[in-house]
Amino acid sequence: MTQKDDFDLREFLPYLLNQAAEISSQSFQRTYKGRYGMLRTEWRVLFHLAIYERMTAKDICEKAIMHKTKVSRAVQRLEQRRYLQRKPDEKDRRHEWLTLTSQGRAVYEDLRAHAQQHDQVLMQKLSTEEITVLRRALNALSQP
């Protein structure tokens, strides 16, 4: 199994990014799925609501770069579990203001602790300088 072609997959960014993303996400996925039966879209929405406190679905779409159908379904499931409440805007009833319940905030606090701990473990694989550059580069690559 000797190499014939000099193209190196380990230099192709989409390949590298997907491998790193998948492997780095597994442990945190086990946490939000195992402890709360949540999906990726759901923890993302939960975290946004915890961080910004009060948002419409459209706010979340923009901040989280998520399509409105993803947000709509995530909000529905979070509401069913009593992690958030909806309140229609009085002036424009097309909008609904979303806020976490105390139960939703408790789930967030727990997941945030796990997220931070998980991040610490990941960062142990890297130097301080690598972490800084990595975050900057990933943010740059996330601009479409």
Residues of the shown chain interacting with DNA in the complex, contacts defined by CB under 7 A: 18, 22, 26, 29, 33, 39-41, 56-58, 61, 67-73, 75-76, 91-96
Residues 95, 88: contact at Cβ < 8 Å? yes
Residue 14, φ and ψ in degrees, nearest 5: -60, -35
DSSP code of residue 77:
H
Which entry of DNA, a second copy, none binds 76, CB below 5 to 8 A by partner kind? DNA
Q: Quick check: 89 binds a second copy (CB under 8 A)?
A: no
DSSP code of residue 123:
H
Q: Identify residues 26-45 at the interface with a second copy (CB under 8 A).
A: 26, 28, 40, 44
Structure tokens that stand for 93 in this block: 């009833």
Which entry of a second copy, DNA, none binds 58, CB below 5 to 8 A by partner kind? DNA
The three-state secondary structure class of 82 is coil
Q: Quick check: 9 binds a second copy (CB under 8 A)?
A: yes
